[in-house]
């Protein structure tokens, strides 16, 4: 059984957990008071402490972002707003964080990014006229100041096109060689045929084991005639309305 000493230890642990669970965030309201008084240094300190103690509280990150933005540190503010968006639990929180993040990107002249962020802000609150105005302004600025082309991508594209052209040139060269070889073979064959016996039509006589063109034509004619006879027989049976019978059983 558990002795008295162990019982006391367990009770102390449980009590500390309850106290920790009920701990209030005093730094957040203190930061808010400092921000109202434009004491941005004090506000930033309190918001950072609040965020470290309660990392899931989106308000701490959002207010921290506003404070840092006020002292002209957009890169730090961007990180704070992104954490606010990550931990936001309501559409209103997301809308505000997205809106202010869009302002940070606009200040950095990242108009393309700002357009996308303002769009997310409007998704969470389509009725906000200020966000709608900023969204339209970001699109106009992006149109007037398109992002520069990626030279590296262009270089890669040009290199790829050059490689493809080299490959095609090599293929064409190989095809030309093959064609010249075929022509040479034909010429050599013609020279050989000139020394062979000619028949009465002036054409080389077929060698042993070869079938003449005339013989091949005769065979084709015979096959065609047989096929014609079979077809006539099929048509005749169809006219009589009788099914065709096979000559042999399978």
Q: For the purposes of burial, counting CB atoms within 10 Å of the CB of 219, is it exposed (0-12), middle (13-18) or buried (19 or more)? A: exposed
What would you measure as the largest C-alpha separation in the chain, in angstroms? 130
3 state SS of 198: strand
pLDDT: which is higher, 9 or 70:
70
CA angle 173, 176, 179 (to 5 degrees): 155
Lookup result for tokens 């102390």: 12
Give tens-digit pLDDT for 7-16: 445 444 444 4
The answer for residues whose C-beta is within 8 angstroms of residue 195's C-beta and 6 or more apart is: none
Q: Is the CB of residue 64 less than 8 Å from the CB of residue 54?
A: no
Q: pTM score, two decimals?
A: 0.54
pLDDT in tens, 94-143: 999 999 999 999 999 999 999 999 999 999 999 999 999 999 999 999 99
Burial classification of residue 68, based on how many CB atoms lie within 10 Å of its CB (0-12 exposed, 13-18 middle, 19 or more buried)? buried
Mean pLDDT over the full length of the chain: 75
Asked if 122 and 135 touch (Cβ cutoff 8 Å), the reply is: yes
What are the structural domains of the chain? 18-86 (1.25.40.10), 90-147 (1.25.40)
Specify burial of residue 25 (Cβ count, 10 A radius: 0-12, 13-18, 19+): middle
Say how many C-beta atoms besides its own lie within 10 A of residue 94's C-beta.
Answer: 20
List C-alpha distances in Å: 132 to 93, 140, 188: 17, 13, 82
Do 96 and 90 meet the contact criterion of CB atoms below 8 Å apart?
no
pLDDT in tens, 169-197: 777 777 666 666 665 665 555 555 444 44
The residue whose two tokens read 């000559």 is 247
């Amino acid at each position: 059984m558990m002795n008295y000493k162990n019982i006391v230890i367990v009770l102390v642990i449980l009590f500390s957990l309850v106290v920790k669970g009920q701990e209030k965030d005093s730094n957040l309201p203190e930061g808010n008071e400092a921000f109202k008084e434009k004491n941005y240094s004090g506000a930033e300190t309190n918001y950072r402490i609040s965020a470290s103690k309660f990392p899931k509280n989106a308000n701490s990150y959002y207010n921290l972002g506003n404070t840092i933005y006020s002292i002209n540190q957009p890169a730090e503010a961007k990180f704070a707003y992104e954490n606010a968006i990550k931990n936001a639990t309501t559409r209103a929180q997301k809308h505000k964080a997205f809106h202010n993040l869009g302002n940070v990107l606009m200040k950095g002249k990242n108009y393309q990014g700002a357009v996308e962020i303002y769009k997310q802000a409007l998704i969470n609150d389509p009725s906000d006229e200020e966000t709608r105005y900023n969204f339209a302004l970001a699109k106009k600025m992006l149109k007037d100041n398109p992002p520069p082309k990626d030279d590296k991508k262009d270089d890669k594209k040009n290199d790829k096109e050059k490689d493809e052209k080299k490959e095609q040139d090599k293929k064409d060269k190989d095809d030309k060689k093959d064609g010249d070889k075929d022509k040479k073979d034909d010429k050599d064959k013609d020279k050989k045929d000139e020394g062979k016996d000619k028949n009465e039509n002036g054409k080389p006589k077929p060698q042993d084991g070869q079938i003449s063109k005339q013989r091949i034509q005769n065979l084709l004619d015979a096959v065609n005639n047989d096929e014609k006879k079979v077809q006539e027989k099929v048509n005749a049976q169809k006219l009589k309305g009788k099914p065709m019978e096979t000559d042999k059983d399978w």
